[in-house]
Amino acid sequence: MTRSAAGYWIGFAVVLALLVVAPLVLPEFWRRFVTEILIWGLLAMSLDLLIGYTGMVSFGHSAFFGLGMYGAAAALLTVRPPNLWLAILYGLVGAGAVAVFVAYFSTRLRDIYFAITTLVFSQIFYVIIFTWTEVTGGENGLGFSQPAFAIPGVVSARFTPVTLHWFVLAVVTVSYLGLRRITQSPFGMVLQSIRENEPRTRAIGYHVERYKIVAVMLSGLFAGLAGVLYALQNKFAAPDFVFFLVSGEVVVFNVMGGMGTLVGPVAGAAFFFLLRELFSRFFTEYYLIPVGIIFTLMVIFVPQGLLGFLRRRLNQ
Amino acid sequence: MTIPFDLLLIQVINGIVTGMILALVASGLTLIFGIMDVVNFAHGELFMLGAYLGSTVFLTTGNFWLALGAAVMGIGLLGAVIQTTTLRPLLGRDPLTTILATFGLSLVLQNYALWQYGPVPRKINEPITGHFSLFYLEYPWYRLLVAVLSAAIIGGLWLFMKYGKYGIWIRATTQDRVMAAAMGIPVPLVHTVVFAIGAAMAAASGVLFGPLTGVNHAMGLDFILRAFIVVVVGGMGNLGGSILAAIFLSLLEAFASIWVSPAQAVIVSFVVLILTLLFRPTGLFVPTPK
Amino acid sequence: MTPDRLPEPGSPHGNGRGAVRSPILRTEGLTVRFGGLTALDNVTLAVPHGEIRAMIGPNGAGKSTFFNCVTGVLRPTSGRIVFDGEDITGLPPHRISQKAIARSYQITNILPGATVLENVRIAAQSRHHSWSLVRHHRAFVDVIDRARAVLDAVGLGDKEEELAANLSHGEQRHLEIGIALATEPKLLCLDEPTAGMSVSETRATVELIRQIATDLTILIVEHDMEVVMGLAHTITVLHYGEVVAEGTPAEIQANPRVQEVYLKT
User: Are C133 and A187 a contacting pair at CB < 8 A?
Assistant: yes
Is residue A20 a part of any domain in this protein? no
The parent domain of residue A153 ranges over 27-244
User: Cα(A206)–Cα(B218) distance, rounded to whole angstroms?
Assistant: 45
Number of domains present in the structure of chain B: 1
Is residue B80 a part of any domain in this protein? yes
pTM for this model (two decimals): 0.88
User: Are A124 and B229 a contacting pair at CB < 8 A?
Assistant: no
Distances (CA, A) of A80 to A137, A147, B174: 19, 10, 63
Is residue A288 a part of any domain in this protein? no
Is residue B16 a part of any domain in this protein? no
Is residue B160 a part of any domain in this protein? yes
**Residues of A near B (CB-CB distance < 8 A)?**
57, 105, 108-109, 111-113, 115-117, 119-120, 123-124, 127-128, 130-131, 244-245, 248, 251-252, 255, 283, 285-289, 291-293, 295-296, 299-300, 303
Is residue B271 a part of any domain in this protein? no
User: Are B263 and A289 a contacting pair at CB < 8 A?
Assistant: no
Q: Residue C182 carries which side chain, given as an amino acid letter?
A: A
The 8-class DSSP code of residue A156 comes to: E
Q: Output phi, psi for B42, to 5 deg.
A: -85, 5
Query: What are the residues facing C26 on neighbouring strands?
Result: C46, C82
User: Cα(C156)–Cα(C148) distance, rounded to whole angstroms?
Assistant: 9
User: Are A205 and C131 a contacting pair at CB < 8 A?
Assistant: no
Is residue B197 a part of any domain in this protein? yes
Low pLDDT (below 50) residues in chain B: 290
Host H or E run for residue A192: helix A186-196
Is residue B251 a part of any domain in this protein? no
Is residue A197 a part of any domain in this protein? yes
Question: How far is A117 from chain B, CA to nearest CA, in Å?
Answer: 7
Residues B192-209 pLDDT 10s = 989 999 999 999 999 888
Is residue A277 a part of any domain in this protein? no
Categorise residue C195: left if φ over 0, alpha if ψ from -120 to 50, beta otherwise: beta
User: Cα(A179)–Cα(B77) distance, rounded to whole angstroms?
Assistant: 46
Q: Digits of tens for pLDDT over chain A (316 positions)? A: 677 788 888 989 999 999 999 888 888 889 999 999 999 999 999 999 999 999 888 988 999 999 999 999 999 888 888 888 899 999 999 999 999 988 887 787 777 788 888 888 888 888 888 888 888 888 888 888 888 887 877 778 888 888 899 999 999 999 999 999 999 999 999 999 999 999 999 999 999 999 999 999 999 999 999 999 999 999 888 888 888 888 989 999 999 999 999 999 999 999 999 998 888 888 777 888 898 999 999 989 988 888 888 887 777 6
Distinct helix (H) and strand (E) counts, chain A: 14, 4
User: Are B89 and A248 a contacting pair at CB < 8 A?
Assistant: no
The parent domain of residue B133 ranges over 26-220
Number of domains present in the structure of chain A: 1
Partner C contacted by A313 (CB < 8 A): no
Is residue A56 a part of any domain in this protein? yes
Q: What is the CA radius of gyration of chain B?
A: 19
Is residue B8 a part of any domain in this protein? no
Q: Output phi, psi for B91, to 5 deg.
A: -60, 130
Is residue A22 a part of any domain in this protein? no
Question: How far is B102 from chain A, CA to nearest CA, in Å?
Answer: 8
Is residue A299 a part of any domain in this protein? no
